[in-house]
């Protein structure tokens, strides 16, 4: 089992899509182990998007990510990083498959509704970036026994 980081970006918050997107993750069987609203600033975004700071669109990306508060989520499940990336879809909403979050809620390369960690290593780093340890809760809802076979709970 592993935990991954999701950010519901300003494009999700400002459109009023938060509930629909949270519902998708819960319906899939992911457990919400942390969730809060926060206003991101330039320092944390420069760290989070360090791989993009040299790109021409970076100033617009900063503006877009600071346009409103965001919702950050820690989602727990078997292979959660890959499961959530599959649900998220391709970066550009115009290329994302219908049925994915970006495919269903976005037509933009930038205003693409969600961020999701892209590897287990990055998930660990990103969870620490946005949550303190006491904001992530280690609990198991009773319905997990209908969600996984015992061998999958590892
Ligand atoms: N982005 C953008 N233009 C691009 C590529 C990326 O505005 O040409 C933005 C977009 O919001 C994307 C974020 O930068 O979600 C991070 O880019 P990354 O390549 O890490 O894509 P992701 O992991 O979000 O799919
Ligand atoms: Mg990325």
Ligand 1 probe mutation, 46, 60, 89, 112, most atoms within 8 A of CB: 112
Q: What is the pLDDT of residue 154?
A: 82
Q: What is the pLDDT of residue 106?
A: 98
In short, whether 135's Cβ falls inside 6 Å of ligand 1 is: no
pTM surpassing 0.85? yes
Q: Choose among 64, 72, 24, 23: nearest CA to 42.
A: 64
The ligand whose atoms approach the alpha carbon of 52 most closely is 1
Q: Residues of the chain whose pLDDT is less than 70?
A: none
Exposed / middle / buried, residue 41 (Cβ in 10 Å: 0-12, 13-18, 19+): exposed
Distance CA 32, CA 76 (A): 6
């Amino acid at each position: 089992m592993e935990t991954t980081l999701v950010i519901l970006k300003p494009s999700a918050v400002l459109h009023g899509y938060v509930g629909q997107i949270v519902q998708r993750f819960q319906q899939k069987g992911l457990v919400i182990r942390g969730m809060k609203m926060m206003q991101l600033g330039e320092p944390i975004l420069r760290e989070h998007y360090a791989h993009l700071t040299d790109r021409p669109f970076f100033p617009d990306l900063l503006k877009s990510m600071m346009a409103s508060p965001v919702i950050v989520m820690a989602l727990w499940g078997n292979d959660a990083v890959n499961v959530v990336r599959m649900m998220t879809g391709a970066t550009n909403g115009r290329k994302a498959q219908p049925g994915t979050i970006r495919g269903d809620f976005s037509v933009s390369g930038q205003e693409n509704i969600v961020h999701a960690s892209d590897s287990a290593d990055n998930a660990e780093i990103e969870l620490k970036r946005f949550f303190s340890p006491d904001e992530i809760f280690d609990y198991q809802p009773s319905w997990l026994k209908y969600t996984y076979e015992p061998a999958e709970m590892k």
